[in-house]
A and B are shown apart, each in its own frame.
Chain A
Amino acid sequence: MTSASSSAPLLELTGYSIRFATPDGEVQAVSGLDLTLAEGETLAIVGESGSGKSQCFNGMFGLLARNGRTEGQARLAGADLLALSPKALDAVRGRDMAMVFQDPMTALNPALKIKRQLSETLEVHQGLSRREAEAKSLAMLKRVGIPEAERRMNQYPHELSGGMRQRVVIAMALLCRPKLIVADEPTTALDVTIQAQILELFRELGQEMRTALVLITHDLGVVAGVADRVAVMYAGRIVEEAGVDALFDAPAHPYAAALLASIPRIDRDGGSVEAIPGRPPNLIHPPSGCPFHPRCRFADERCVAERPPLEPVAREGHAIDAGRRVACWHPFAAARAGSAAAAPTPEAVLHG
């Protein structure tokens, strides 16, 4: 792989699309995505089921279902992953980029001891001897906070708890010191106390190893604690991309705002949630114009007719935020509606 110049981003998606051919028609799972990720950065991809957030990275890793097709470019350190042969992609996977899934068992072979699972990656990708590989694996298990790591090395995956397995998978992902880790809902299947442990681990690793992390999740709460930057996806497109503080402070896209307003808050009593009416669109026949318009409070004729481009916007009374891009004809409409506190709050307000 050619090494990129220092200014180039680690990961760069341009015009990246994924389609699936189904008996009912073509599903446009991801449409013309443009996205960059710098080295050592933690980017969260947020969206609901069917938003294309997982497919996007499955496509990059060559893990799409057979009826899936990718288009565009996905450059990791300069090399277009989509143009690689399956064999070349195999070499990149594990060495330069690794994936952590929701269910750790998808990544673990139930018939192999933990030490084999880990050291095999090293033997294959770095040509280490078994002894060296096992020593390195043990060190990594300790690093990800597995107690009694020596004993765990000789156990099988089913003997570990869910949180432990996820740690093993993370250790496996980190072994070859990849430049990029993609974690797809890594804590969704775990209990909150275990989720907190794993997120803490990601946070530490992000600071310590300077590995870029893409965190795919539906949970904005998780995002707030870990990410530097957030991209909100809806119907296969990014609708808003911003720094984590900027996004949570004042979401520009009505969908991002609605998503934030729909999560109940554990830290507030007498809180309320606002439901987003309707449901995610059908991606075989996506809505015209802005994909969110059928569910949007602020939609007008223009939103129905024209799809808004993803571009930087300025908020009234603020300078243009360079790191922020929004695909909306009425950015910050939600924030304005919110600040005009006299306006009746929208539907489905629930006081706890």
Chain B
Amino acid sequence: MTLYVDKREALEPFAKHEADAVQGKPRSLTRDAMRRLFSNKAAVVSLVVFVLIVGTALILPPFLPYDYETPDWAAFSAPPSVESGHYFGTDQNGRDLLARTLYGTQVSLLVALIATTVSVVVGVLYGAVSGFVGGRVDAAMMRFVDVMYALPYILFVILLMVIFGRNVYLLFAAIGLLEWLTMARIVRGQTLSLKEREFVEAARASGVSTFPIILRHIVPNLVGPVVIFASLTIPEIIVTESFLSYLGFGVQEPLTSLGTLISEGADVLEVMPWLLLFPGATLVALLLSLAFIGDGLRDAFDPKDR
């Protein structure tokens, strides 16, 4: 029988009890989200597929007997074959399709990464400032976003083409500068609700100034939506790039990308189906795996499931 005499003592068993309750490593929210992500089968399979594709695209090319731009004079328009070493076949110019597909994957991913990074950085900063400062500043900043939204996207891209025509990476950095609009809106909405949260008020009550509050309390809590947004933007940019390349606006010869390869392959579908099949399959696998990863991330970060 236990009989507590004063409150100090009463608190002790309570504290011990609490210590028993939580064991193991501290669980941050991100760790929790990752744990949930890794318990999602579709996301894990997709992650494996994605890592395989990216890993192959980055590591394999130097070990291939052919590179992406030098023609093999012995094999023009050759179908896939194991003996010749052209596992994916060659194109009309005798270039190895496997090397080109891997290279194209690299380019597509790099382009997507650039555009997504640009859009996330600009979007988060713009949205967080707009949301946190509020009032007239917020109204002005958001009207600017609305105006940008209203402008036709493709027209913009074509204008950018004229400016950055020769440099595909700059072009996609510029496309990233268009993509941030959605990010900014999402971040602003989140910030508006975050700044009303009591922990921000607590920070203000203890005298923390505005910028540290944004950095310590607002931005870290945006991780969820930002990660989800990024995982959905990457495939979007890959598609945009493929689309632009298909129209002939994208990557220039002898550089290549998945979109360019598909565009070229589509022209000769009847005679050389492998030229469409392999880049197409790679793109589809990439997009599908990214979509499932994005979906898994959304579930993992969704506060409703917590």
Contacts and interface: CB of A to CB of B under 8 A. Distances in A.
Interface of A: 23, 275, 277-279, 282, 294, 297-300, 344, 346-349
B10 A277 contact: yes
B3 interface: yes
16 contacts: A23-B39, A277-B11, A277-B14, A277-B17, A278-B14, A279-B18, A282-B21, A294-B17, A299-B2, A300-B1, A346-B3, A346-B4, A347-B5, A347-B9, A348-B4, A348-B10
Given A23-B39, A294-B17, A275 B10 contact: yes
A277 B1 contact: no
Contact of B4 (A279, A294, A298, A347): A347
Interface of B: 1-7, 9-11, 13-14, 17-18, 21, 39
A346 B1 CA distance: 12
Contacts of A346: 3-4, 10
Contacts of A279: 14, 17-18
A300 B3 CA distance: 12
A170 B155 CA distance: 59
A253 to B, nearest CB: 16
A338 to B, nearest CB: 13
A279 B21 CA distance: 10
A56 B18 CA distance: 27
Given A282-B21, A347-B9, A277 B39 contact: no
A23 B35 CA distance: 11
Nearest to B5: A344
A140 B18 CA distance: 50
**Residue of A275, A277, A298, A349 most packed against chain B (CB within 10 A):** A277
Nearest to A343: B3
**Residue of A23, A278, A279, A299 most packed against chain B (CB within 10 A):** A278
Nearest to B8: A347
A277 B21 contact: no
Contact of B1 (A23, A299, A348): A299
A121 to B, nearest CB: 29
Contacts of A278: 13-14, 17
Nearest to A350: B7
Contacts of A298: 1
B2 to A, nearest CB: 6
Contacts of B3: 297, 344, 346
Contacts of A300: 1
Contacts of B7: 275, 347-349
A124 to B, nearest CB: 31
Contacts of A344: 3, 5
A344 B21 CA distance: 30
Contacts of B39: 23
A239 to B, nearest CB: 19
A194 to B, nearest CB: 25
Given A275-B7, A277-B10, A297-B3, 14 more contacts: A277-B4, A277-B11, A277-B13, A278-B14, A279-B17, A282-B21, A298-B1, A299-B2, A300-B1, A346-B4, A347-B4, A347-B7, A347-B10, A349-B7
A170 B82 CA distance: 77
Nearest to B14: A277
Given A23-B39, A282-B21, A347-B9, A297 B4 contact: yes
A300 B14 CA distance: 18
B70 to A, nearest CB: 53
Contacts of A348: 4, 7, 10
The 8 closest A-B pairs by CB, nearest first: A347-B4, A347-B10, A348-B7, A277-B14, A278-B17, A348-B10, A277-B10, A278-B14
B4 to A, nearest CB: 3
A297 B39 CA distance: 42
